[in-house]
Each structure stands twice: as C-alpha cells, then as structure tokens.
Amino acid sequence: MMILVAGPYRSGTNDDPALMAENLHRLEAVILALFRAGYLPMIGEWVALPLWHLAGGQTPGDAAWQEILYPVAHHLLDRCDAILRLPGESKGADEDVRLATERGLPVYHRLDDVPGIS
C-alpha cells in the first residue's frame, strides 16, 4: 500500500528555503516507520521539485511551480491507497485530503492511526 504523506511544505515559510527544508524534513520524519510497517511512503515534493527545476522554476509560486507542484500531488493520489496528513496549516495538504476523501481513500491524521504502526 502506498501512502502519500502530506503536510506543510511552503506554508508559513515566507518562501525561506531553510524553513521549507525543515518542513520537508518533518514530512520525511515518518517515512521509515511507514516503510517498516510494510507501506511505500510517498511525498509529492520528491517528484515535483526535480520537475520544477527542470522546467526552469526559480521562485516558489512561479509559473513552473503552479504547473507542477499541486498537479503532481493530485496525480500521485491516483496511485496512492491512503494519505497521512501531518499537522500544520497547508492549503495544498488540505486539498490533498479533500481529493482523497472524495476518492474514498483512508485519511490518517496521526502516524499511530495507520494500521500496523504502534
């Protein structure tokens, strides 16, 4: 089962690269536990950021960002079996949850809520 890990990445950072990196680190902090429980964890930024750079992206929120970041997460949701929504304000993660719910996918709000995690 593939689980999309969603939460703040750009939100609340004022586009500060160091703060964005901290947010990505917080998303990544749960992936080993998911993997060890038998899941394949996925974070949208892992796919989107290299594409954004290849598309010539320069600044978070630029045209390439708009073209790539949220659409990648939406495409990943087509292939994921569930979503783990980590705490923190994030319009993108909230939209991921909305789409997952609409598609009937389980939405977990705490790592401990994911089956097999204890």
**Structure confidence by residue, pLDDT tens digits, 37-67:** 999 999 999 999 999 999 999 999 999 999 9
Single pTM value for the model:
0.94
Pick the CATH number of 2-113 from 3.40.50, 3.40.1350, 3.90.105, 3.30.530: 3.40.50
Phi and psi for 92 in degrees, rounded to 5?
A: -65, -45
User: Any idea where the domains of the chain sit in the sequence?
Assistant: 2-113
CA angle, residues 29, 111, 79, in degrees to nearest 5: 85
**Structure confidence by residue, pLDDT tens digits, 79-115:** 999 999 999 999 999 999 999 999 999 999 999 999 9
Q: Which phi-psi region, left, alpha or beta, contains residue 116 (left: φ > 0; alpha: ψ -120 to 50)?
A: left
Q: Which tokens sit at 1? A: 């089962």
Bridge partners (DSSP) listed for residue 61: none
